[in-house]
Structures are given as C-alpha cells and as structure tokens.
A and B are shown apart, each in its own frame.
Chain A
Amino acid sequence: MASLSLQTPAKSIGLVSPQKVLIDKPLTLACGTVLPTHELVFETYGTLNSDKNNAILICHALSGNHHAAGFYEGDSKPGWWDHYIGPGKAIDSDRFFIVSVNNIGSCFGSTGPTSTNPATGRVWGADFPSLRARDWVESQKLLMEHLAIECWAAVIGGSLGGMQAMRWSLEHPDKLLNAVVIASSMKLSAQNIAFNEIARRAIKSDPNFCDGNYLQQNRAPLHGLALARMIGHVTYLSDEALGKKFGRELASGDFIGSTEDPIEFQIESYLNYQGDKFSSNFDANSYILITKMLDYFDLSREYGNSPVSAFEHAQCNFLLISFSSDWRFSPKRSQEITDALITAGKNVSYTAIESNQGHDAFLLPNDRYQKTLSNYLRRLADQLGAA
C-alpha cells in the first residue's frame, strides 16, 4: 500500500475500476436504426445518498472515455479529468455520486464500431449507424434508469460534453437540476467542420482504411488516424501555448552542421508522438463517426433555428465557462448560449476564464476555473443537503 500512496497524489479518488452493463432495452437512434440492446462501460466515484439526489453525470468529448478520475491498478496516469473530480475537488466525490460513461460509438468498451453487430455476427466497422448527440443522451438516460437515479443534480461536460449537457436540458428538462457547459457551442462553424473533414480525409486516404472494413482484414489505418489527431491536436492548443512549450527548440540535429542527425523541431516530434499514441488507442471509424456527430450538432435546428425557443424548454440552471485563447469554441460561442438563455429567462451564470491553453484548457489546472466550478457545485451540494 505504501507504493500506492506514492503513485496516487493527494486528493485523488485513488484506485478505480470500470463497470460494464448490458442495457437490455431497445434504443432508437436519431437515424431510425434500433439497437435492441447495447453495452455501456462506466465508472462511478462517491456514494449515491439515500435521497438519490446527489448524482452528477460527466459527459466526455470526442476522444474521451469513462475513465475520468482516479487510477487503474499499475497506471501512473490518472483519468482525463482527475484535476477536477475527486475528494474535496471541484466535482467533489465526498459529496456527489459521479457517473462517467463511455458513450456508444466510441471505442473503450461500450457498443461501437469495434463491437459485433448481433444481426450479422460480424464486427460493425464502418456500418455502425450514424449518431447524434441526442443518441448519447438517450443512452445515458437508460444508464440513469439502470442506476435508479431520478434526476441528475448536474450534467457536466466540456466541448462535445457541453453539447450533451445542453441537449439533456431540452430533451429531459425534468431530469436535471443543472447543466454545466464548458468550452462548448450550439453548433460548429464552417472552420470547425473544415478541420473535421481534413481529419476524416486523412483517415480515409490511408491504404489500410479499406473503406472502413479494416478490422475484418486485420489492418488498421494507424497512419491516417495519427494524422487526423495531429490536425485536431493543433486546433485544441493556442499559438501561445505551443510557443511557450516548444518554441523553435530542436529535438534532434542542429543548424551549425556539426551533427549528421536530421533537423527535427520539438513540436514535430511531440505531434508525431501524440498522433501515434492516439492511433494505437482509438478506432478510426469511431473518430469519423464522432466528428460527424459534432458537425451535425445544431442545438436549435428543430426549434425553428431559434436558440431562445430551444432554451425555453429547459428548466434547469446553467453555468457556462469559456477560455480566452480557445479558438475551436471561442468565448463568443459561450456568450451566444448565455444571451439565448437570458432572453429565454433561464437562470444562467457565465465566466470567461483567462487562459493561454486553448480549447484544451477545460482539461487543465486553472485556479479560477477550479474556483468557479467549486463554488457553483458547493452551493448545489449545500442545497441538496448532500453529506
């Protein structure tokens, strides 16, 4: 146990393990396809109180998964949102019961393109049905019923996660008290879609993509997926953050000519490493599927393209957070959401956090961000009488 305390920093939730559930109810997707059953992998942190009113749902973004906090046995790196989830942290596992689920269509154990299609007995691959953010919400709703939770104290997410939180507020307005929408947007801009299309094209151009049926042929478009991630990764960071971290430092070679090594900037080496690491952990069809889900998301499409009419259906309180250097989903996008919520007469607070970390800031330590989230959720826990 001594070694465990060394590898888990103070205030971490510590060792965690995922659970898997077979949702034995049909899920009708927005595209019309029905999944008769589906599997969901999830983690929970903290304890559901006797009133069952202290549950928080964490919604992950494009490449996220259920492992949001704590450590797996033998791992040195914690879950992706460990800075903000844990005992005494902003999303406090001492007071809340936190549910973090890997969504369908992703590739970390929940039903997705790498799963077997029960109808054919073969892997889904590129045939996995097209998904919308609302499909994730409906699947999460089935998990909620499985866990016997009546109403979320809060649904929280960054980026695509924030879109799910907003969709929850419209689809099931009486099933959440708060939506925390971080670094998100009501719809993607042309520039956003452009970057996603470049990423998809990179994947599809890989000779190992095989029209998406690479798994059946024991191949994988690793190169294309790495390239897709490298493009995405640059858009999640700011010019300033990249400059600060790497500048023009060289990873190998020099400009004096004293070594034979080829010149490689550190940013090149870093991006290649990130791309390769990602492509060995993620599925290319999932990447295509989920980037399209992002592109198709449009909060108010079915509400006459009026965000105000859309949000009139919401009943929960909202907290919006943006980051100054985020050019993927800029503060302007969060301001638009806030303006629509105010016009719709909903309770909303909005903070624009100063940060040079770009879109990725929502994952990284930041005092003010941490304070905002803590203050908001502490008040909520007090109201609920949670622990």
Chain B
Amino acid sequence: MNHNFSFISGWIRSGSRLLDLGCGDGSLLADLTSSHNVRGYGLEIDSDSIEKCIARGVNVVEQDLNRGLDNFADNSFDTVVMTQALQAMRYPHLVLDEMLRIGSECIITFPNFGSWRTRAYLAFRGRMPVTKQLAYQWYDTPNIHFFTYSDFEALCQERNINVMHRKFIAEQFPDNLLKNLWPNLFTETAVYHLSR
C-alpha cells in the first residue's frame, strides 16, 4: 500500500531523520532511503513484515505502538510517518501528540469513513461497511476507531495542530473528480502533513 503514497516524498527533506510507525514491509523507507538518503527507522509488530524489512536492509524495530513511544526523545526525528494505522491505535489522539513530540513534522494517512461509499453501505445494507480500504468484518478488524476527514480536521483544530498540507486520494469515478470539491464525501484516503 505504501507505494500509493510516493508523493509524500515531496514533503521529506533530503538526508532527514525519519521514523515510520507501522512500517509494514519497509517499502516506503526503502524508497525514501534511495531517493532522499533519509536515515530511516521503522517500527512494526508483525513478524512477517519485520522479516521483509530485514531481508531488504531496512532498519526495523519490533515495537508495539500501543505501548507508547516514550523511548524516543523530543524532536529526535525530522519527520514521523504513519500510513493507514491511526484507526488501529488504542488512543489515536495520544499517538498523534506523541508523533508531534518526537518529530518536528508528521505525515499521516487514514481511510476516510465519511466517504459516500461507506455511508451508502451502512445506510442501505444496514451492515458495517466492508470496502477495499476497510476490508475486514466488524469482529476481526484491527481498525477500532472509525473517523472521517471532518473528524480529523476537528481534532487538529482542537489540539492546535498546524496542517501544512492535506491531500485527498480517490481512484474510482466519480470520486476522483469530486474529491477536492467535497473531500469528506469523495475522499477514500486522506493524507496530512502536520506540525505544531
């Protein structure tokens, strides 16, 4: 999934220190290491993903994000990244605070639960949405907090988080044409570049 977010490399300075929370197979870190010479580390708990990182030479540390990040000092990274994992955190707002404590900037991507497709799924089928983005049943999903683009905007405002960039991703028609017009309804995945 990480390769979808290659455009965020435009928000990363060359040679910067990068921490990727929930780094998966390490492809984003591998790409940014070769393109931007970043000094990158990934945190991950899935053993298969950790093995893939090690096999491709990406720095990976086995650490459960839900158990805190207090082993990382304030401002010890230029950028802290989290792709498609905030909705799986026990306390997303505290994770967000932690990311902005450890990094001067952070980049977050999440599936927008406010998309008309999920709304329609729930409204018309009366069942919890199972979509490409949220491909789990309600009982086995790792995604325990569902939130929308608007919810996230409100959270940033409440916590005085500065939005440096926001980008909306939607691949299907007509969402891809309408996403910037009405983000909360037509965005599948939201991407934020944040700072304090």
List chain A residues, Cβ under 8 A from B71.
335, 339
CA distance A34 to B17 in the complex (A): 45
A351 touches B (CB below 8 Å): yes
- Report yes or no: B50 in contact with A342, Cβ–Cβ below 8 A: no
The contact of B47 among A319, A342, A368, by CB within 8 Å, is A368
One of B47, B50, B76 near A343 (C-beta < 8 A) = B76
The answer to whether the Cβ of A350 comes within 8 Å of any Cβ in the partner chain is: yes
Q: Is A17 an interface residue when CB atoms closer than 8 A count as contact? A: no
**Which of A335, A338, A343, A379 lies in contact with B55, CB distance below 8 A?**
A379
Does any Cβ of A come within 8 Å of B13's Cβ? no
Tell whether A378 pairs with B55 under 8 Å between CB atoms, given A335-B71, A343-B76, A368-B47. Answer: yes
Chain A: interface residue total (CB-CB under 8 A): 20
Is A349 touching B59 in the complex (CB atoms < 8 A)?
Answer: yes
Partner of B60, one of A343, A345, A349, A371: A349
The contact of B41 among A342, A351, A372, A376, by CB within 8 Å, is A342
A339 and B73 CA atoms in complex are apart in Å by 10
Please indicate the chain B residues that have their CB under 8 angstroms from the CB of A348 in the complex. Answer: 41, 59, 61
Residue contact A350 to B57, C-beta cutoff 8 Å? no
A351 to B63, CA, bound (A): 9
Cβ–Cβ contact A379 & B17, under 8 A = no
- Indicate which residue in B39, B51, B76 contacts A375 across the interface (CB closer than 8 Å): B51
> When chains A and B are docked, how far (Å) is the Cα of A352 from the Cα of B76?
23
Residue B53 lies at the interface, judged by CB distance under 8 Å to chain A:
yes
A370 to B58 alpha-carbon distance, docked (Å)? 18
The closest CB in chain B to the CB of A376 belongs to B54
Interface residues of A in 362-377 (CB under 8 A from B): 368, 371-372, 375-376
Structural contact, A338 and B61, CB atoms closer than 8 A: yes
Q: Is the interface of B mostly helix, strand, loop or mixed?
A: mixed
Measured between beta carbons, the chain B residues less than 8 angstroms from A343 are: 73, 76
**B159 contacts partner chain A, Cβ-Cβ < 8 Å:** no
Asked whether A345 lies within 8 Å of B17 as measured between CB atoms, the reply is: yes
The smallest C-beta distance from B130 to any residue of chain A, in angstroms, reads: 31
CB neighbours (8 Å) of A335 from chain B are 63, 71
Question: Which B residues, 26 to 66, have Cβ-Cβ distances below 8 Å to chain A?
Answer: 39, 41, 47, 50-51, 53-63
Q: Find A379's partner among B56, B59, B72, B73 (CB 8 Å cutoff).
A: B56
Q: Chain B, 68-107, contact with A by CB distance < 8 Å: what is the 0/1 string? A: 0001110010000000000000000000000000000000
User: Are A350 and B61 touching (Cβ within 8 A)?
Assistant: yes
A347 contacts partner chain B, Cβ-Cβ < 8 Å: yes
Instruction: Quote the shortest CB–CB distance from B29 to chain A (angstroms).
Output: 11
**Which residues of A289-346 are within 8 A (CB) of B?**
319, 335, 338-339, 342-343, 345
CA gap between A345 and B59 in the complex, in Å: 11
Shortest CB-to-CB span from B75 to chain A, Å, is 12
Closest residue of chain B to A368, judged by CB?
A: B47
Q: Chain B residues near A371: list those with CB within 8 A.
A: 51
Instruction: Pick the contact of A345: B39, B50, B54, B58 (CB < 8 A).
Output: B39
Closest-by-CB residue of B relative to A318 is B59
Q: Decide yes or no: A375 and B61 within 8 Å by CB, A343-B73, A368-B47 being known contacts.
A: no
In this complex, the member of A343, A350, A371 whose beta carbon has the largest number of chain B beta carbons within 10 angstroms is: A350
For A354, give the chain B residue with the smallest CB separation.
B47
A375 and B53 CA atoms in complex are apart in Å by 9
5 more A-B contacts (CB under 8 A) besides A347-B59, A350-B62?
Answer: A339-B71, A343-B76, A348-B41, A372-B50, A375-B54
- Listed by A's residue number, 22 A-B pairs whose Cβ atoms lie within 8 Å are A319-B54, A335-B71, A338-B61, A339-B71, A342-B61, A342-B72, A342-B76, A343-B76, A348-B41, A348-B59, A348-B61, A349-B60, A349-B61, A350-B61, A351-B47, A351-B50, A351-B60, A368-B47, A368-B51, A375-B55, A376-B54, A379-B57
The 3 closest A-B pairs by CB, nearest first: A375-B55, A350-B61, A375-B54
